[in-house]
């Protein structure tokens, strides 16, 4: 296992690309060797004049370089498949911004190609690399919450109406990727029901609600919204033993653990077959776990390097990206069917794992 630096090229230096560029540059694992953008002036503005980093509009030039081990793609979702395919065919490991692609079919092609080439394909599900989500995942995995009963996720503020995607494809990948990271069985809902509204006539849903029934009877709900004057980024994860509240806009207490819950004391069935439940409420302490302050993207680029060196799938691999895509695609079908509950296509492909 080598500890030599790996070479990376970033494709796309628009709004998000500069964050990747900054984190690759600040990493002991990586050498940023090239930045590729159709708009080379923009790329030069991000990289700076006096640097040895190649600036180019040509992906072919980047892929021809021997010192590029990995390509990080921060271009619009509709371009991910073509760029990732070219990079994988050139033998490069690939990091792709969320969402992995603009359809399940495109994402699946990318996952299959990476597997057949024996290369890493990673989705940048940024929130999964925050200390708070990693702590939530640990608490869930160690059983601190008991059974998960419900999840309620709200991500609303005055957001830019995106030219090519609706609010579900823009914002919900964050919530869905976090669910994939923290739920004991990952993001494998029994279905999805989506409702969206376009009250300002933008031509696409600007307000959206997703309901996701989960195995075991729990329900997850996601509210995404570009039209809210108040900014809320909150997730409540209710368990039979404890409930977590993650308030991402409260750095002093990002995560609260409520040692409270409800117990079903007894359930009776009367002569008319009506069920009556007797519920007891448990009241306990509320506490806030200490969390390190660390930028998620620095951990994300470190995980990309580790997965390449250890020749293993990264924490947010192409499969995680596909599970998110399959919910987004089912949500689009549900929207067209006026909010009907729609099956979510399984994207698990165990047979391919065995072949490799």
Ligand X SMILES: NC(=O)c1ccc[n+]([C@@H]2O[C@H](COP(=O)([O-])OP(=O)(O)OC[C@H]3O[C@@H](n4cnc5c(N)ncnc54)[C@H](O)[C@@H]3O)[C@@H](O)[C@H]2O)c1
Contact set with ligand X (CB under 6 A): 11-17, 36-39, 42, 59, 74-77, 79, 83, 97-98, 124, 126
Closer by beta carbon to ligand X, 74 or else 255: 74
Closer by beta carbon to ligand X, 173 or else 189: 173
Q: How far is the CB of 317 from ligand X (least distance, A)?
A: 16
Closer by beta carbon to ligand X, 62 or else 148: 62
Chain residue whose CB lies nearest ligand X: 14
Sheet holding 227-239, edge to edge: 193-197, 207-213, 219-225, 148-158, 227-239, 243-247, 255-258, 286-287
Q: How far is the CB of 14 from ligand X (least distance, A)?
A: 2
Residue owning tokens 């680029």:
301
Residue 60: burial class (beta carbons within 10 Å; 0-12, 13-18, 19+): exposed
Closer by beta carbon to ligand X, 11 or else 327: 11
Q: How far is CA 245 from CA 132, 210, 257, 354, in A?
A: 11, 19, 7, 39
Residue 232: burial class (beta carbons within 10 Å; 0-12, 13-18, 19+): middle
Closer by beta carbon to ligand X, 20 or else 149: 20
Residue owning tokens 């059974």:
147
Q: How far is the CB of 77 from ligand X (least distance, A)?
A: 5
Q: How far is the CB of 354 from ligand X (least distance, A)?
A: 32
| Cis previous bond, 99, omega within 30 | yes
Q: How far is the CB of 83 from ligand X (least distance, A)?
A: 6
Write phi, then psi, for 103 (nearest 5 degrees): -160, 160
């Amino acid at each position: 296992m080598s500890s030599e630096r790996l070479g990376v090229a970033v494709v796309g230096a628009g709004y998000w690309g500069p964050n990747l560029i900054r984190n690759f540059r600040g990493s002991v694992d990586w050498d940023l060797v090239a930045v590729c953008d159709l708009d080379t002036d923009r790329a030069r503005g991000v990289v700076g004049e006096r640097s040895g980093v190649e600036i180019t509009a040509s992906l072919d030039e980047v892929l021809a370089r021997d010192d590029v081990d990995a390509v990080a793609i921060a271009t619009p979702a509709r371009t991910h498949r073509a760029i990732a395919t070219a990079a994988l065919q050139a033998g490069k490991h690939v990091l792709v911004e969320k969402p992995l692609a603009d359809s399940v079919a495109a994402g699946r092609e990318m996952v299959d190609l990476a597997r057949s080439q024996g290369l890493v394909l990673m989705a940048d599900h940024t929130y999964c690399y925050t200390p708070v989500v990693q702590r939530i995942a640990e608490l869930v995995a160690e059983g601190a919450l008991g059974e998960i009963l419900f999840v309620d996720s709200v991500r609303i503020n005055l957001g830019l109406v995106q030219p090519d995607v609706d609010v579900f494809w823009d914002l919900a990948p964050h919530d869905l990727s976090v669910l994939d990271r923290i739920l004991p069985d990952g993001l494998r809902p029994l279905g999805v029901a989506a409702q969206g509204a376009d009250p300002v006539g933008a031509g696409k849903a600007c307000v959206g609600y997703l309901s996701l029934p989960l195995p075991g009877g729990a329900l997850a709900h996601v509210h995404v919204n570009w039209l809210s004057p108040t900014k809320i980024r909150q997730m409540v994860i209710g368990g039979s033993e404890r409930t977590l509240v993650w308030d991402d806009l409260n750095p002093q207490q990002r995560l609260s653990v409520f040692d409270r819950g409800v117990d079903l004391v007894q359930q009776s069935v009367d002569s008319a077959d009506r069920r009556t439940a007797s519920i007891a409420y448990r009241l306990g302490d509320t506490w806030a776990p200490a969390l390190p302050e660390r930028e998620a993207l620095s951990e994300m680029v470190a995980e990309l390097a580790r997965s390449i060196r250890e020749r293993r799938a990264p924490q947010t691999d192409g499969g995680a990206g596909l599970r998110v895509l399959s919910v987004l695609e089912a949500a689009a079908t549900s929207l067209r069917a006026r909010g009907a509950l729609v099956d979510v296509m399984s994207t698990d492909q165990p047979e391919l794992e065995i072949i490799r």
